[in-house]
Amino acid sequence: MKKLLLINGPPRSGKDTFFRFVCRQIQSCAEYKMARPLRDIFGALFCMNWIEQDIILEDKKDEVIQEFSMTPREILIMISEEWIKPAFGDHFLGVIGKARIRKMKEDVIVITDSGFDYEIEPLVDEFGYDNVYLVQLSRPDSTFENDSRSYIKTDTVKPTNIAIINNNGDLAEYKNKITAVLKDFGFDVVGESND
């Protein structure tokens, strides 16, 4: 059975760094983003391939696109909150996510952009209460301001499968905290990196 590792934290709290480090420590690991369908819509609207949209949505997410007087982040939020959820329901990205994750070959799937309780429910239903883990990140000066996501309510996930990491030190300290959490969760840590 697949194990899902949900990473929940505000922008710039260390979610992508968390994933990169975890994949060096756990075999058969891959990333899934709940926002992938939104990113695909964004790319289709602006005639971008995956590489182009990922560059814009990672490196320039908070820069205003002059023609639209909006940032890519604001456009993604509009697609989600004004188009997708009103038409298909709040659970839509969770339903799509479970179908896509089910087809992935890896044993551990790290979801780096978890931020809504109702998107997690279909995942728990599909993969089991015991197989969904939640790591909530915080970092000084990192908030959910201008983001539609927030901290997931911890009653969505099994209490022993929840960890909180305050990413308030240097990279080495952060990596040590990640390793400790993975071991507490019972993951087989096969490699560690000083990169």
Sheet holding 162-166, edge to edge: 29-32, 108-111, 3-8, 132-138, 162-166
User: The pTM is what?
Assistant: 0.87
Question: pLDDT at position 58, please?
Answer: 80
pLDDT in the model for residue 186: 93
pLDDT of amino acid 191: 63
Mean pLDDT of 87-115: 95
CATH number at residue 132: 3.40.50.300
Residue type, 38: L
Residue 104: band (very low, low, confident or very high) from pLDDT cuts 50, 70, 90: very high
User: Over pLDDT 90: what percentage of the chain?
Assistant: 68
Residue at token pair 């819509």: 41
In a domain, 82, yes or no: no
Count of structural domains, the chain: 1
DSSP 96-155: HHHHHHHH---SEEEETT---HHHHHHHHHHH-GGGEEEEEEE-TT---TT-S--PPPGG
What percent of the chain has pLDDT above 70? 97
From residue 151, give the alpha-carbon distance in Å to each of 88, 143, 155, 188: 23, 10, 12, 27
Is 153 contained in some domain? Answer: yes
Give 129-154 pLDDT, tens digit per residue.
Answer: 999 999 999 999 999 987 888 999 88
pLDDT at res. 66: 79
